[in-house]
Amino acid sequence: MKVVGILMLLAGWFLVLAAIVLFSAPPLRGAFILAGMAVEVLGLALAFRSHLIPREEKR
């Protein structure tokens, strides 16, 4: 899950880069950049969840 979270962060960033290069119309570009950010937020959520401490390891 850690790896998937990190990969999703990267994937979101690549979406943002692609939006800059591929779209010139501001609304479309903005929408794709927001979509990229949304993917990053999902990746971040996954990364946080994967770092929660298992119950048996709490001391």
Binding mask 19-48 for other proteins (x = CB under 8 A): -xx--x-x--xx--xx-xx--x--xx--xx
What's the closest the beta carbon of residue 35 comes to other proteins, in angstroms?
11
DSSP letters spanning 4-21 = HHHHHHHHHHHHHHHHHH
Burial class for 37, CB neighbours closer than 10 Å (0-12, 13-18, 19+): middle
User: Which pair of tokens denotes residue 17?
Assistant: 């880069």
- Contacts with other proteins by CB under 8 A lie at 6, 9-10, 12-14, 16, 20-21, 24, 26, 29-30, 33-34, 36-37, 40, 43-44, 47-48, 51-53, 55-56, 58-59
